[in-house]
Structure 1
C-alpha cells in the first residue's frame, strides 16, 4: 500500500486549481484585443506577469487600456499624479511581460 504524500497532494491541487482558474482582466482584454499575436498561451503569460506586478485596480485599468488604446495616450500624457504613478507601474509591467512572455 502506498503512503499518502501530503506535498504531492498539495502540488496536484495547486496544478488543478491553476488550470481551472478564471481568466483575469488583462488576459480577457488581451484575448479580445483582436491582435493577430493574441493567443491563450501569450495572454495567460501576460496575466501571470500582471498578477505579479500590478494590483487588482491596476489590472482593471490596464485591461481598459488594452481595450481602448486612445485611453492609454490620455493616461500617459495626463498631469494627474495618480495617472503618472499608474503609467510608471504599467510601463514596468509591459517591460516585464515583454521579457517573460517573448515568443521565440
Structure 2
C-alpha cells in the first residue's frame, strides 16, 4: 500500500510540474532568437499576451516558428480549417503583442 501511495504521489507531482515546464515557451524562444529587440522585458510581455491569446498547443507550435519561420509560412499557405484557425489566432496574438509590448 505504501508503495502504491508513493507511486501515486510521484505521478501526480510530475503532472503538476508539466505545465510549469511548458509555461514559458514563447518567452524562451523569443530570448533565444537573434533579434536585437528580444529583451527580457519584451519577451516576458509577449509571453503574457500569448498566455491570454493562445492555447498551450498553439504556443508550442508558435515557439518553433522563432527558430524556423518557414514553418509559419507553410501553415499560412495550408488550406485546412484547423491551420486557418491557428493562423487567425496567431495574427490576433501578434496584433495584441505589438500593441501591448511595443
How far apart are residue 39 of structure 1 and its match?
A: 0.8
Determine the structure 1 residue equivalent to 2:72: 72
TM-score, normalized by length of structure 1?
A: 0.74
TM-score, normalized by length of structure 2?
A: 0.76
Q: Moved runs in structure 1, 4+ residues, more than 4 A?
A: none
- Point out where structure 1 has 5 or more consecutive residues left out of the alignment: 1-20
Determine the structure 2 residue equivalent to 1:38: 38
For 1:47 and 1:64, the matched residues in 2 are separated by 14
Q: How does 1:46-61 map to 2 (within 5 A)?
A: 46-61=46-61
For 1:33 and 1:79, the matched residues in 2 are separated by 29
Q: How does 1:1-104 map to 2 (within 5 A)?
A: 24-102=24-102
For 2:67 and 2:87, the matched residues in 1 are separated by 16
For 1:67 and 1:41, the matched residues in 2 are separated by 20
Q: CA RMSD in A?
A: 1.4
- Point out where structure 2 has 5 or more consecutive residues left out of the alignment: 1-19
Considering fraction of residues, name the structure with more helix.
Answer: 2
